[in-house]
Amino acid sequence: MGPFWTFILLYPEIFLAIICFFWFSLFRLIRQRQKSNLPVNWPVFGMLPFLVQNLHYIHDKVADVLREAGCTFMVSGPWFLNMNFLITCDPATVNHCFNANFKNYPKGSEFAEMFDILGDGLLVADSESWEYQRRMAMYIFAARTFRSFAMSTIARKTGSVLLPYLDHMAKFGSEVELEGVFMRFSLDVTYSTVFAADLDCLSVSSPIPVFGQATKEAEEAVLFRHVIPPSVWKLLRLLNVGTEKKLTNAKVVIDQFIYEEIAKRKAQASDGLQGDILSMYMKWSIHESAHKQKDERFLRDTAVGFIFAGKDLIAVTLTWFFYMMCKHPHVEARILQELKGLQSSTWPGDLHVFEWDTLRSAIYLQAALLETLRLFPATPFEEKEALVDDVLPNGTKVSRNTRIIFSLYAMGRIEGIWGKDCMEFKPERWVSKSGRLRHEPSYKFLSFNTGPRSCLGKELSLSNMKIIVASIIHNFKVELVEGHEVMPQSSVILHTQNGMMLLPWLLGFVVKYPEIMASAACFLLLFCRFRRRSKRIPTNWPVVGALPAIVANAGRVHDWVTEFLRAAAMSHVVEGPWGSPGDVLITADPANVAHMFTANFGNYPKGEEFAAMFDVLGGGIFNADGESWSFQRRKAHALLSDARFRAAVAASTSRKLGGGLVPLLDGVAASGAAVDLQDVFMRLTFDLTAMFVFGVDPGCLAADFPTVPFAAAMDDAEEVLFYRHVAPVPWLRLQSYLKIGHYKKMAKAREVLDASIAELIALRRERKAADANATGDADLLTAYLACQDEIGMDGAAFDAFLRDTTLNLMVAGRDTTSSALTWFFWLLSNHPGVEARILAELRAHPPSPTGAEPTRRVIVSLYSMGRMEAVWGKGCEEFRPERWLTPAGRFRHERSCKFAAFNVGPRTCLGRDLAFAQMKAVVAAVVPRFRVAAAAAPPRPKLSIILHMRDGLKVKVHRRQED
């Protein structure tokens, strides 16, 4: 083998780079000699470089291309990515596809999938479904009830909302982002027209409504689908990441709002016919298809379609209209002259609103609106898909399934369509010599579509815009801020954009020199992230997320979370590595706690993912949601409130402390040996909880510290549960498939737990059968067995219910109490002046450091909340029981959303009083008899779902009489 081939085999990338360089150079040279401004169809990449380079002013570049190409041009995307499409602005082609051959050019399945946010509504439907919905919509829009309601709504909103808002801004001389104002106002109007309800989007404080933000994000996601290969966005949808994740979240918000409105309207069904669209659809019928109106999905899709169709058209057109008024003051002056003498209604603040009937004669005003729509159509393109092979009027052959995009933006700027003055803003072109409105064929002026799909709301939209424009122009003078550049934004809707003069050059440079720009981007990314690290906020790196920060702070995770929550105003999103459970919002804000745990409790259930992670707890009260949780909570509340049970708890606690804990500590004190107080308390609370739940003392707390399989299995399960929170999902699934590691450990722990609980249940049943009239047993298992008929289960189902219920009670009773007692005695050893009645330890060191909400997306850090100066004041990190006492010496109450150690809202811990009673009993039994001396070094919290101490609490115990 010669040296040439050896070089190629050793360095193939260099040889490939040389070949590509010469190939693209030759291709560029050929194109330059052709002296054409049409996009270059590069090998492999197609016309993608042209699209990327001109993305931010794509509408104008498309218009330039179509001028040179004779109004029709085939765009080729990258190889193998199915991104080829025909783009046109030829009126003859429009008429051919939208009218003469309407059935051969449906929206198509690809369009419907791309706009799946609209469901099966009128805007995406085809064939029979479209025909039915079209007939229904025509019936609604022609109804006098609806038209009267729509006109009164726009007049009311203009006079009571829009004009007062602008009047406030005018009085203070404030700059106004007019498109944002119109977007919110038109969303409010459209929502009112569809649902007869107010979103109240527009106010002096200009809030961003959740529903409006969701529709905006949905628009952005749909645009993204248009400019990337279908395989890419479908993969993103499958993985639920990027814009597809935003779209999914937006769908949830939109559906929630709409289904709530449908439910409200159904509840008001007997209140008589209303004029809003939803009421009309729900109460009117069309022959054989009447049953469809009551289908909620149909109503949802219909409502979404009308909202998206209505909100953008008005807002975008009005924005461009007032921009043109600023550029053409003579047009504004002529409109003002036309409005003189027309009747208007007066609203508070001496503001005048014109009614629709009085504006019928305002021909020039409507001409100016139509001229705005010609140059700046709200929807800059339409899309069709060829059902069969066809030949267009200009001779272009179209294959089956070809996507055809009609550029409305370019159509308004073609000299062959609108004449030599096509680029000028001239409302006069819409007025005839006799002063009447001039008609133009709809396939030439496509802003309201054409053919069978012509917009049914055309007259309504124009009426709304005329009312708004006339009212604003009559009351205010709108001026463009000096130096503010306006250009169309790349979107499915023609929004305005404040572009930068540098942007076209920059994008061209990116296309030519991607390796330089990639290096610069990486440098800037690293620079920004290192700057962010200086603020103590964890860095969310690409691929690995915040994993480096998590690993670096693994030994002090709770204090680290507290630090970055202080820097991040008590809330921050932490991203996991790709493949991990997902992004997590961590918060210590009491307002968030109250919002999720109380005010919006129904919207934040435990969720299926939480139940799957804590599957060892079965269907018990910790995992349950909905009716199952409600039933279990009612039953548990009744049993825990029973006087016999509470008396038995008090007696059992006293007996265990006197016969178990005190003698054990007495022996330790006599020997002078060190003891792990955390282990002692975990054994004590395990025994006490078993006595309360099963009526049996397992003997875990004894002088020889025996190993009890039940308790050991609970420890193993707790360790695995924490591991599931931090390990990547694919790794967990692999362990599950291979039955190794933590999966194997959990399986063994479950076997022990199930066997232990089954044995205790059988023992209790035997005891009950032997003495059917016994009334002395007051444990919870006996109580649950006694109410089997009420529970409504038998056989294996009832056994599973008993197993899940008792295990949940064991977990609740053992870990939280033992953890609190351990921290209490450490604090006590460092604060000898503090006496028994101390609650603040639970604030500073809550038994459960975090509370996870649905799908682990939200984590409430109780540990951090207790250390936030904004929550507890400047002494938040000091151990000060006095904060819980009033000047009168009484106990001070704090809101549960601020002190969430016992949870908040409907899930507030039922055993709170029982836990306090136990802890007070333990403290009262230990403190008078013994002095506990702990090491001076502060203990470190253990990484766990319970706030244990990492190495336990090694102490020496001294009898009080020895001091």
Annotated binding-site members:
455
Torsion of CA 563, 565, 567, 570, to 10 degrees: -150
Q: Are 65 and 86 in contact (CB under 8 A)?
A: no
Q: The tokens 């001496």 sit on which residue?
A: 350
Q: Are 884 and 840 in contact (CB under 8 A)?
A: yes
3-state secondary structure of 933: strand
Count CB-CB contacts under 10 A for residue 418.
Answer: 20
Distances (CA, A) of 69 to 36, 65, 73: 10, 6, 6
Query: Rounded to the nearest 5°, which phi and psi values hold at 441?
Result: -60, 140
Q: Are 944 and 718 in contact (CB under 8 A)?
A: yes
| Cα–chain center distance at 382 | 30
- The 8-class DSSP code of residue 266 comes to H
Which among 124, 95, 94, 97 has a CA at the least distance from the CA of 109?
124
Q: Which residues fall within 8 angstroms of residue 681, CB to CB, at 6 or more apart? A: 817, 818, 821, 822, 922
3-state secondary structure of 607: helix
Distances (CA, A) of 841 to 43, 569, 793, 950: 70, 24, 42, 18
Element (H, E) at 817: helix 795-830
Q: The tokens 């469809």 sit on which residue?
A: 292
Torsion of CA 54, 56, 62, 67, to 10 degrees: -90
- Neighbour-count burial of 273, counting CB atoms closer than 10 A to its CB (0-12 exposed, 13-18 middle, 19+ buried): exposed
Query: Rounded to the nearest 5°, which phi and psi values hold at 756?
Result: -65, -45
Can you say which residues are annotated as belonging to the binding site for heme?
455
Angle at the Cα of 452 from the Cα atoms of 448 and 458, rounded to 5 degrees: 30
Q: What is the DSSP string of 645-693?
A: HHHHHHHHHHHHIIIIIHHHHHHHHHHT-EEEHHHHHHHHHHHHHHHHH
Q: Which residues fall within 8 angstroms of residue 547, CB to CB, at 6 or more apart? A: 541, 576, 577, 580
Residue type, 60: D
Q: Which residues fall within 8 angstroms of residue 134, CB to CB, at 6 or more apart? A: 122, 452, 456
Q: Are 570 and 588 in contact (CB under 8 A)?
A: yes
Distances (CA, A) of 847 to 681, 756, 806, 824, 862: 13, 25, 20, 11, 9
Q: What's the CA gap between 819 and 822, in Å, rounded? A: 5
Tally of CA atoms within 13 A in the half-sphere of 60 that contains its CB: 9
- The 8-class DSSP code of residue 537 comes to P
Which among 315, 213, 291 has a CA at the least distance from the CA of 254?
213
Q: What's the CA gap between 301 and 131, in Å, rounded? A: 15
Element (H, E) at 354: strand 351-354
Q: At what angle do helices 178-195 and 210-227 cross, to 10 degrees?
A: 110
Q: Are 411 and 91 in contact (CB under 8 A)?
A: yes
Q: What's the CA gap between 517 and 510, in Å, rounded? A: 6
End-to-end CA distance of the chain: 93
Q: What's the CA gap between 876 and 874, in Å, rounded? A: 5
